[in-house]
């Protein structure tokens, strides 16, 4: 089969690799029809090479048609149309019974002290081949795959794999008061959906913050009050307070994470780690990694006293300096974590069959064949050609 594979920093290729097979009775094989490129994939493309092997198959936002199932998989059958959550969870352990599917004890990567195994995402998270491919082996298929109806195009459902539940959880964790205000930092796919979901769930005003024209325009078209921080980032906190009776927004969602602009120390640390041999770089990142924290620090400054910050952007630093005095003094609540995908599906699914109130069918800016994946990664990483969300179609 064809698959998108990692070959080094900013070097992904489409290779011919062996077809996956059923390895355990809880496995399934899915023929992929659409797979998204996520902002988290850019972390592999740019920063996390120390935890990758050449030839690793990328991708964790897939959907497709079931081709085969193991003996213990009875909830799906060949021919079913399914979306595959990015985290691999069993559905029955202690953590899964708490709805914390991203912490599944059956698939936890204890060797590295991490939570549930993820598709296509480094040795730290299980080293499982990803879904930017023609075929995908799905472990724990007795629980994970989400059946979706025939008829509507893939773009109506594929975001159930990651984007929609991640954004839904981010808004849930933000605890926006009914009729309250929220600032969303970063208007990539997750930030776009955070804005739409917050408005759908009753926020009075959503401030969408970014520095890319296309992202700002898209958020504005879906009801967000947008703020372009180019050249005015030092005034952002004052602008947010001026728009919220001098207090700051009730909630802030950080949908940027470690890729933040305007963080020279973190950027330098990322660049230097990329020059080290993989074994050395892995130890540096695990023990002394520093994230680009400019957005998080601004979020802490901007949110009103007694407010809530929700982190959906991925951070990976082990030595991140945090302004603990300000967090304590302002009595800020802080929630974060990988999305517990299956926990939110029952709340999201009805919205996908009811007039598309979240505008999922308009999110993808590019739909490209799988063999154009190298080009897709390049324009997404460089924010070229208006690329906000790219779907690959084998």
CATH number of the domain at 58, please: 3.90.180.10
Residue spans of alpha helices (H) in the chain: 39-46, 94-97, 163-174, 189-200, 213-221, 236-242, 264-275, 278-288, 294-302, 324-329, 341-348, 373-382
What residues make up the domain containing 105? 2-162+340-393
pLDDT value at position 284? 42
Buried b (16+ CB within 10 A) or exposed e, 55-73: ebbbbbbbbbebbbbbeeb
320, exposed or middle or buried, with CB in 10 Å at 0-12, 13-18, 19+? middle
51 token code pair: 């935890």
pLDDT value at position 325? 82
Domain count, the chain: 2
Name 174's bridge partners.
none
What CATH number is given to the structural domain containing 259? 3.40.50.720
Distance CA 63, CA 132 (A): 10
Closest CA to 352 of 173, 197, 204: 197
- How many other CB atoms are there within 10 angstroms of residue 231's CB atom? 8
Q: Are residues 143 and 279 in the same domain?
A: no
SS3 209: strand
Closest CA to 69 of 144, 154, 160: 144
Residue pLDDT tens, the chain, 394 long: 999 999 999 999 999 999 999 999 999 999 999 999 998 898 888 877 778 999 999 999 999 999 999 999 999 999 999 999 999 999 999 999 999 999 999 999 999 899 999 999 989 999 999 999 999 999 999 999 999 999 999 999 999 999 999 999 999 999 999 999 999 999 999 999 999 999 999 999 999 999 999 999 999 999 999 999 987 777 999 999 999 999 999 999 999 865 544 444 344 344 444 444 555 445 544 544 445 577 888 999 999 999 999 998 666 555 556 787 888 788 999 999 999 999 999 999 999 987 899 999 999 999 999 999 999 999 999 999 999 999 999 9
Q: Are residues 210 and 321 in the same domain?
A: yes
Q: Are residues 10 and 158 in the same domain?
A: yes
Q: Can you tell me which residue has the tokens 């949908």?
A: 255
Q: Are residues 177 and 316 in the same domain?
A: yes
3-state helix, strand, coil in the chain (%, to 5): 35, 20, 45
Contact 48, 122 (CB under 8 A): yes
Distance CA 145, CA 89 (A): 10
Distance CA 236, CA 245 (A): 15
Q: Are residues 218 and 270 in the same domain?
A: yes
Distance CA 155, CA 133 (A): 17
pLDDT value at position 314? 63
Domain ends where: 307, 336, 365? 336
Q: Are residues 122 and 72 in the same domain?
A: yes
| DSSP secondary structure code for residue 133 in this structure | B
Q: Are residues 148 and 251 in the same domain?
A: no
- Report strand pairing: 225-228 vs 205-210: parallel
Q: Are residues 199 and 321 in the same domain?
A: yes
Q: Are residues 212 and 154 in the same domain?
A: no
Q: Are residues 24 and 95 in the same domain?
A: yes
Distance CA 56, CA 161 (A): 20
Q: Are residues 259 and 112 in the same domain?
A: no
Contact 214, 386 (CB under 8 A): yes
Q: Are residues 244 and 139 in the same domain?
A: no
């Amino acid at each position: 089969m064809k698959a998108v594979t990692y070959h080094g920093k900013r070097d992904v290729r489409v290779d011919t690799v062996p077809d996956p097979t059923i390895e355990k009775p809880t496995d399934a094989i899915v023929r992929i029809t659409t797979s998204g490129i996520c902002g988290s994939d850019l972390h592999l493309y740019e920063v996390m090479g120390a935890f990758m092997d050449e030839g690793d198959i990328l991708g964790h936002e897939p959907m497709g048609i079931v081709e085969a199932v193991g003996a213990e998989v009875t909830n799906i059958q060949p021919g079913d149309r399914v979306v595959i959550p990015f985290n691999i969870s069993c559905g029955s352990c202690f953590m899964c019974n708490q709805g914390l599917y991203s912490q599944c004890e059956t698939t936890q990567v204890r060797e590295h002290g991490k939570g549930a195994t993820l598709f296509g995402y480094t040795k730290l998270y299980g080293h499982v081949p990803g879904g930017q491919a023609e075929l995908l082996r799905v472990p724990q298929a007795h629980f994970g795959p989400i059946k979706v109806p025939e008829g509507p195009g893939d773009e109506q459902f594929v975001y159930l794999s990651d984007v929609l539940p991640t954004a839904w959880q981010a808004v849930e964790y933000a605890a926006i008061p009914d009729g309250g205000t929220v600032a969303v930092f970063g208007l990539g796919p997750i930030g776009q959906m955070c804005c739409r979901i917050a408005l759908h769930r009753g926020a009075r005003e959503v401030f969408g913050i970014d520095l890319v024209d296309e992202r700002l325009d898209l958020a504005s078209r879906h009801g967000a009050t947008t703020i372009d921080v180019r050249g005015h980032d030092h005034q952002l906190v004052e602008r947010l307070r001026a728009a919220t009776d001098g207090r700051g927004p009730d909630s802030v969602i950080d949908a940027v994470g470690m890729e933040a602009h305007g963080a020279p120390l973190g950027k330098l640390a990322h660049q230097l780690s990329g020059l080290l041999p993989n074994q050395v770089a892995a130890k540096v990142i695990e023990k002394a990694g520093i994230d680009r924290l400019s957005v998080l620090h601004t979020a802490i400054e901007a949110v009103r006293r007694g407010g809530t910050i929700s982190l959906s952007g991925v951070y990976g630093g082990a030595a991140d300096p945090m302004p603990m005095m300000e967090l304590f003094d302002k009595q800020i609540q802080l929630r974060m974590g990988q999305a517990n995908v299956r926990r939110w599906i029952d709340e999201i699914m009805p919205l996908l069959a009811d007039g598309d109130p979240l505008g999922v069918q308009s999110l993808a800016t590019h739909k490209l064949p799988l063999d154009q994946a190298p080009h897709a990664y390049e324009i997404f990483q460089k924010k070229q050609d208006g690329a906000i969300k790219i779907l690959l179609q084998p």
